[in-house]
Amino acid sequence: MQGITPFLWFDNQAEEAANQYVALFPNSRITDVSRYGADGPGPEGTVMTVSFELDGRPFVAFNGGPHHKFTEAISLLVTREDQAEVDRLWAALSDGGEPGPCGWLKDRYGLSWQIVPTVLFQLLGDPDREKAGRATKAMLGMSKIEIKGLVDAFEGRA
């Protein structure tokens, strides 16, 4: 079977991270855990990779040691219809991590996420460039994206 699967390098928290991620998203599950053998390079029996699905999409988490760290150059974009879901995911993923601007955050493992309400793209892409500009300005002033603030700015109420 061919495909493209994001491969996430962790120091030694691949299984912990994968378990947290699959608990947060519907239609998600761990599909396989492989362990280092006697020939290493990790200690025999410890987790090497965790294959998992997030909302039906495949990922692999790898315990490769401290050699490589995540950067914001790659992030996982998550869109949600309502503020309650944005709030839930933002709280869970930023716990122990670091909030950023414009819906971005780093989780406790250093992986960057964008937690974004779907209405954001509609407002930013609106043909009325003045309204879209107000929504853009509002978004740039936010950490976690707030739908009401976006819509109010878009409509000229903020």
Contact (Cβ atoms closer than 8 angstroms) between residue 14 and residue 8: yes
Same domain, 90 and 154: yes
| Entry pTM | 0.93
pLDDT, one tens digit per residue, over 14-47 is 999 999 999 999 999 999 999 999 988 888 999 9
Helix (H) or strand (E) holding 74: none
DSSP 149: H
Instruction: Give the domain extent around 42.
Output: 1-66
Read off the tokens for 120: 């954001």
**Cis before residue 58, ω within 30 degrees of 0?**
no
Same domain, 74 and 149: yes
pLDDT, one tens digit per residue, over 77-118 is 999 999 999 999 999 999 999 999 999 999 999 999 999 999
Q: What is the CATH number of the domain that holds 21?
A: 3.30.720.100
Among left, alpha and beta (phi > 0; psi -120 to 50; other), residue 96 is: left
